[in-house]
Structures are given as C-alpha cells and as structure tokens.
Amino acid sequence: MSFDLNFIGILIGAIMASSVPLILAASGELITERSGVLNLGVEGMMIIGAISGFALMIITDNLFFAVIGSMLSGLIISIIFGILTQSLLTNHVATGLALTIFGIGMSAMIGKNFVGIPGKEFPLLFVNLKENIPFFGPILFGHSIILYFAFLLPFITNYFLKKTKIGLIIRAVGDSPTSASNQGINVILVRYSCILYGGAMCGLAGAYLSLIYTPQWIENMTGGRGWIALALVVFATWSPIKVLIGALIFGGITILQLHMQAIGFRIPVQLLSALPYIMTIIVLVIISRDSRKIKLNTPTSLGQIFYKEK
C-alpha cells in the first residue's frame, strides 16, 4: 500500500464521524454531572433518540422534525429520571441503570416495524470541496451539520460553564448544593434543567447514529456507546475540551480497528476493541490517586441526593 495523503485525510474524516455520538452524549452528560447528578441512563436515552429520529424521518420525511424529535424524545425520557431522582429522591445509580434497561426495551418495541427499512439520505455539506481539495477536503468538508455542531459543542460548553452566570450557578449547585440553596438558588430546578439538557443531547447522539452514521434501525444499535460516553466524562475529568480529545481517541481506535481488520493485522481485533475500556480504567487510576487533581473539576456532590427541609 503506497503512502497516500488523501487516504489519511479520509481516515481522519472517518474518525471524526465516529466520535460525534460520543462528543454529543458526553457533553450533555458533563453538564448533568456538573450539577451534581450522575445519570447512568445515557445508553437508554441515546437508543430512544436513535429510534425516534429514525421513525420520524420515515414517517414525516422531514429532517428537521426527525432531528428535533429525537432531541425531544431524549428529553422526555430523561424526565422520568428527573422526577425519580429529584422529586422522589431515589438513588441516582439505580435509577439511571433502570433508565438504560427500560430505554433499550422500549426502543425495540417502538422500532419493531422499522427493522429492515432503509434510511433516507441525510444531506452532507460542501461535498464538492471534499472531493477537490486533497487531504484537508475529506477532513473539513462533506460532513453533516450535526458533525460541525458536535465539534463546536465542547467549546461552547466550556465557555458556558466558565464564563456565564448560569454556568457558575450549575457548578455551584454541583459543588455545594446546600450553600447554593442558602444563596437562594433553586437547586432542584437547576438539576432538572441539566438532566433534561443531557437527555436532549443523548437523543441527538442517538439520532446521529440512526440517521447519518448507519442510516437504518437495528435493535440495540448504540452498542455500548452510551457507557463509553459516561466513561469519557470521567476520562476528561469533567472538562469539555478534554471530552473532545478523548472522543477522538476513542473514535480513532474504533476506526483503526476496522482498518487493521481489513488489512489482516496480527493483533487480535478484540484487544483493540478493549483498549478504550482498559485505557479508561488506567486514566481513572491516574487521576483518582492524585486527590488534588480529581477535586479540581469533580462536582463534589456528584450522585448525592439533595433534600431541602421545608
């Protein structure tokens, strides 16, 4: 195989595409976790977004409805999590797990009549530039609008959390809900909003899979990406920019593994597939043993139930 710059460009483009659902879901979950809520339902919300987006695309034949609908359905299912954890004070871990299990089952039931239907074509932007500019063309152009949004999102999230008043409020609620509450902040309202936002982003991440990445509906098609997104948030020590970098690494491993498989590389495919998970554990160990490092960005009240005595 000759050294082909354009091929490497195409490879990088593919890596970017495969990292999109991870960026979207992890960025959403990051906001949720920054407010002190640990939602393990990412996988469930993603899969609900995937089927809703696909079903709406087939039924309405309208891209806009499909994309917005997937976000809304992710948001709606996250309301269950919100009501349970925030109003009925249930345990975050168990509730999130239930949401994932429920979401996978529910999506399969809704998607029963959509199995095997080919998806519609999703418009890609600047396709002619992609083909005419070597190397940079396949990297920068010929993607869907959701990809461009996904690559902007971490920067927006970073700015939002660090520079805006609402971002500050979210961090305050996550770090010390009691003092935030004493300052007159409605902790429950802030957490509800962050849960719903996370749900919407996970829904969008799912829709990216079923509308663009592999335009069809397959049961359980998120295939554990939601769990990787969750790991990614910790991997990135709750920093949005590092989420982007982490997602590219994870996406890179996925694509690389496919290509190595194709050229008959000697390393077992399964070892490559396991690398993201093993790497997450190693990174967790590294950041967790240094308590200062993990305290820097970790929402102090993550996963704890907040109850205001009236």
Partner 1 sequence: MIKIEKRNDVSPSIYFLTPILAIFLTLFGGGIIFYVLGFNPIIALKFFFITPISDLYGFSELLVKATPLCLIAIGLSFCFKSNNWNIGAEGQLIFGGIVGGGVALLFYGHDGFYVLPIIILSGAIGGMIFAMIPAVLKTYFNTNEILVSLMLVYVAKLLLDYLVVGPWSNPEGFNFPETRQFSESARMPILFDGLRIHAGIFITLMTVFLSWLILYKTYLGFQIKVSGLSLKTAKYAGYKGETMIIIVFMISGACAGLAGVGEITGPIGQLHRNISPDYGFTAIIVAFLGRLNPVGIIFASLIVALTYLGAETAQIFLQVPKYTGQVFQGMILFFLLGSDYLLFFKIKFLGLKKNEL
Site for partner 1, rule CB under 8 A: 40, 44, 80, 83-84, 88-91, 93-95, 97-109, 111-112, 219-220, 224, 227, 230-231, 234, 268, 270-271, 273-274, 277-278, 280-281, 284-285, 288-289, 291, 294, 309
- Specify the residue, 92 or 143, whose C-beta has the smaller distance to partner 1: 92
CB of 192 to partner 1, least distance (A): 16
Gap between the Cα atoms of 44 and 214, Å rounded: 18
CB of 259 to partner 1, least distance (A): 18
Phi, psi torsion values for 175, nearest 5 degrees? -85, -40
CB of 305 to partner 1, least distance (A): 10
- Specify the residue, 258 or 278, whose C-beta has the smaller distance to partner 1: 278
- Specify the residue, 147 or 196, whose C-beta has the smaller distance to partner 1: 196
144 vs 127, 140, 151, 156, CA distance in Å? 10, 11, 11, 19
CB of 47 to partner 1, least distance (A): 10
**What is the per-residue DSSP string for 45-99?**
HHHHHHHHHHHHHHHH--HHHHHHHHHHHHHHHHHHHHIIIIIS---HHHHHHHH
Cα–Cα–Cα angle for 270, 51, 55, nearest 5°? 140
Token pair belonging to 76: 């709606």
Q: Is residue 38 within 8 Å of 302, Cβ to Cβ?
A: yes
CB of 40 to partner 1, least distance (A): 8
- Specify the residue, 113 or 182, whose C-beta has the smaller distance to partner 1: 113
- Specify the residue, 68 or 83, whose C-beta has the smaller distance to partner 1: 83
